[in-house]
């Protein structure tokens, strides 16, 4: 069996797979086109399966649950506690209509995952768990074990662990993966994977905007939980960081691979919803408004498969790339074997 692997893509999927391969004895080189090409660079970093479960997405919930079980060991392998920013989540609803939507979502998750720790709570109970929440929430659920990571620290930690194990990360844009050295080639280039892997890998881009807010010396502390849910029909999440929060996220069809400028209406809606959910954010500084393009498949499931005897592909993770990284690395190792 060949033992040299070239990986195209320096995002969370490419690096996670490369690290797993290096740990298994492969000589591994990651070809990284830089942060602008990574969906991982513009992400909240939620490790959700409970909060992500949507009726009809049975298989995706199963995969997310499997990956969530792998995350503790995955974090331990990285050895950097700063990567992990929250251990639990609050799934909140601003109105009665939002709460009914959330109840349906939770019923679906419980049907698939009966052991899921989801406790229905009033708005007052949620505020006792997270005092930074605003008044007037209809209620929601406390989701234990549904944490988050800092997406950019995660990339740094993965690259550091890979190099420490003997792997390489090189700055390079790959146009023809067949010319790369190695016994196997893994294409994990997000939206660009389709052009590199061929017509058998149909992915399309969905644009999503996020905001990064930084605490000032006059601000309340960041939340201890991931806060996610709905406000008057719009999804919103607040994910803690050491110095503030990431607010997200919009989702709509991208107008091409370079459609990466945030729209004013998306930024305005995110700010309005975030401050309504956590009023103390009004004194935070807006330090970044960014848009990324998520690689999505037609059925919403990740595409992790062989293309031919030498080449593999891992893409199409949509909004769940970070959460599904350990599962994807495990699946790629099965294919390499």
**Per-residue model confidence as pLDDT tens digits over 3-42:** 999 999 999 999 999 999 999 999 999 999 988 878 888 8
Report the pLDDT value the prediction gives residue 124, as an integer from 0 to 100. Answer: 95
DSSP string, 11-77: SHHHHHHHHHHHHTT-EEEEEE--GGG-GGGS---B--STTT--TT-HHHHHHHHHHHHHHHHHHHH
Residue 84 CA to residue 153 CA, distance in Å, equals: 9
Overall average pLDDT of the 274-282 stretch: 95
Output the average pLDDT for the chain.
Answer: 93
**What are the residues whose beta carbons fall under 8 Å from the beta carbon of 336, sequence distance 6 or more?**
5, 21, 24, 26, 184, 312
Return the structure tokens found at 175: 């146009």
Q: Is the peptide bond before 199 cis (omega within 30 degrees of 0)?
A: no
Provide the 8-state DSSP code for 150. Answer: -
Provide the 8-state DSSP code for 317. Answer: B
Task: Spell out a b/e string for 144-153, using b for 16 or more CB atoms within 10 Å of the CB, else e.
Answer: eebbbbbbbb
**What are the residues whose beta carbons fall under 8 Å from the beta carbon of 284, sequence distance 6 or more?**
213, 214, 215, 216, 219, 244, 245
Burial of 163 (C-beta count, 10 Å sphere; 0-12/13-18/19+):
middle
Q: In this model, does residue 247 exceed pLDDT 90? A: yes
SS3 label, residue 233? coil
Report the pLDDT value the prediction gives residue 311, as an integer from 0 to 100. Answer: 95
Overall average pLDDT of the 181-190 stretch: 95
**Of all residues in the chain, what percent carry a pLDDT higher than 90?**
81
Q: How big is the chain by its Cα radius of gyration, in Å? A: 20
Report the pLDDT value the prediction gives residue 330, as an integer from 0 to 100. Answer: 98
Phi, psi values for residue 282, rounded to 5°: -65, -20
Q: From residue 209, how far is each of 41, 244, 269 by CA, in Å?
A: 11, 17, 11
Question: Nearest 5 degrees, angle CA 228-CA 234-CA 239?
Answer: 25
Count H helices, E strands: the chain? Answer: 8, 17
pTM of the entire predicted model: 0.94
Instruction: Select the more confidently predicted residue: 1 or 3.
Output: 3
Report the pLDDT value the prediction gives residue 49, as an integer from 0 to 100. Answer: 83
Residue 56 CA to residue 108 CA, distance in Å, equals: 9
């Amino acid at each position: 069996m060949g033992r040299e692997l070239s990986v195209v893509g320096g995002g969370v999927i490419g690096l996670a797979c490369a690290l797993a391969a290096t740990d298994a004895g492969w000589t591994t080189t990651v070809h990284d086109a830089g942060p602008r090409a990574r969906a991982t660079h513009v992400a909240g970093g939620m490790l959700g399966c409970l909060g992500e479960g949507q009726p009809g997405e049975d298989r995706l919930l199963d995969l997310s649950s499997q990956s969530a079980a792998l995350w503790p060991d995955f974090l331990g392998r990285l050895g950097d506690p700063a990567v992990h920013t929250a251990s639990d989540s609050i799934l909140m609803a601003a109105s009665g209509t939002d709460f009914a939507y959330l109840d349906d979502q939770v019923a679906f998750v419980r049907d698939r995952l009966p052991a899921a720790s989801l406790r229905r709570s009033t708005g007052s109970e949620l505020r006792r768990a997270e005092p930074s929440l605003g008044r007037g929430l209809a209620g929601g659920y406390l989701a234990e074990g549904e944490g988050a990571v800092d997406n950019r620290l995660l990339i740094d930690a993965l690259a550091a662990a890979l190099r420490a194990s003997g792997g390489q990360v090189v700055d390079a844009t790959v146009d023809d993966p067949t010319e790369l050295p190695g016994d196997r080639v893994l294409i994990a280039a997000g939206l660009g994977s389709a052009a590199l892997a061929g017509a058998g890998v149909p992915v399309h881009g969905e644009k999503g905007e996020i905001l990064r807010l930084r605490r000032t010396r006059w601000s309340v502390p960041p939340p201890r939980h991931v806060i996610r849910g709905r406000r008057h029909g719009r999804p919103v999440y607040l994910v803690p960081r050491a110095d503030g929060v990431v607010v997200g996220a919009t989702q709509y069809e991208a107008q091409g691979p370079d459609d990466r400028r945030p729209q004013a209406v998306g930024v305005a809606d995110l700010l309005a919803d975030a401050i309504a959910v956590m009023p103390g954010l009004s004194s935070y500084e807006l330090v970044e408004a960014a848009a990324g393009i998520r690689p999505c498949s037609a059925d919403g499931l990740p595409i992790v498969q062989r293309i031919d005897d030498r080449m593999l592909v891992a893409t199409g993770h949509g909004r769940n790339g970070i959460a599904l990284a350990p599962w994807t690395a495990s699946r790629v190792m099965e294919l390499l074997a």
